[in-house]
Amino acid sequence: MNDLTKGWDPVQAGENSMKILIADDHELFRDGLRHVLLQLDDSVEVVEASDYPQALAQAEAEPDINIVLLDLGMPGMPWAEGLQALRQKLPSTVPLIVLSASDDRRHVLQAVNLGAAGFIPKTSSSRVMLSALKLVLSGGVYLPPALLDQSAEHAYGDGTNGNGAESAASFLTPRQREVLTLLGQGKSNKEIARVLQLAEGTVKLHVTAILKALNVNNRTRAVVAASQLGLTNTDAASVAR
């Protein structure tokens, strides 16, 4: 088990290998990504789809898929409709990561709202892409740092969203704000527990309270909210007391 799979627990997943669905209409991109994944770990099994109907069919035919890498701009149906249909077809425990040549902030946030667990620009290096996969597999969230910076600027620039996030966050305890800061850095519950020296169960309770206070329904949206509060770039060491 190496760089990609060490963030993934095969015992917990009930499998001896990791199965990844690559859904992209560009065969050359699929080939390149498959080559990288297989080079890193020979236990990785890759299944492919070149449009939304094929992706939905694969999700139904392969119930043991562990993660999905999805290009938004595939044929077959509008991307928002396709992403939502695929998210509904997959078990809730299977993360879906968007891969796209576009890093349009509106598309990223809409994808998050529809259930994406992360967003990786296709212009990312192999190292960044694999680090993002590892982070998501360990229970974290990956969004492009540039996007989070834009999100914060937009929130404070329009005088509405930032104030709304700040108002919601005012109901958080100091410890919950520390947890939110680490969420904003994409960290998993286990990593947050280690940094703050808390039990993982306690971190889960804090995360649940944070989602409720911010009126969001997943960790990815909490990361966006954290960026609106300017918490995504805080050094983790500064919250470890």
For 127-171, write each residue's pLDDT tens digit.
888 888 888 887 777 877 666 655 444 443 343 344 555 566 667
Task: Provide the pLDDT confidence category of residue 1 given band limits of 50, 70 and 90.
Answer: very low
The CATH H-level superfamily of 147-239 is: Response regulator (3.40.50.2300)
- Please give the pLDDT value at position 13: 44
Q: What is the pLDDT of residue 239?
A: 41
The encoded tokens of residue 238 equal 């500064």
User: What percent of the chain has a predicted confidence (pLDDT) above 70?
Assistant: 76
Q: Do the domains 147-239 and 5-142 match in fold?
A: yes
Query: What pLDDT, in 10s, does the model give residues 15-46?
Result: 457 899 999 999 999 998 888 787 667 788 99
**Going by CATH, does the domain composed of 5-142 fall within 3.40.50.2300?**
yes
The domain ranges of the chain are 5-142, 147-239
- The per-residue pLDDT for range 60-116, each reduced to its tens digit, is 999 899 999 999 889 999 999 999 999 999 998 899 999 888 767 777 778 888 888
Distance, CA of 64 to chain centre: 19
Q: Which pLDDT band holds residue 56 (cuts at 50, 70, 90)? A: very high
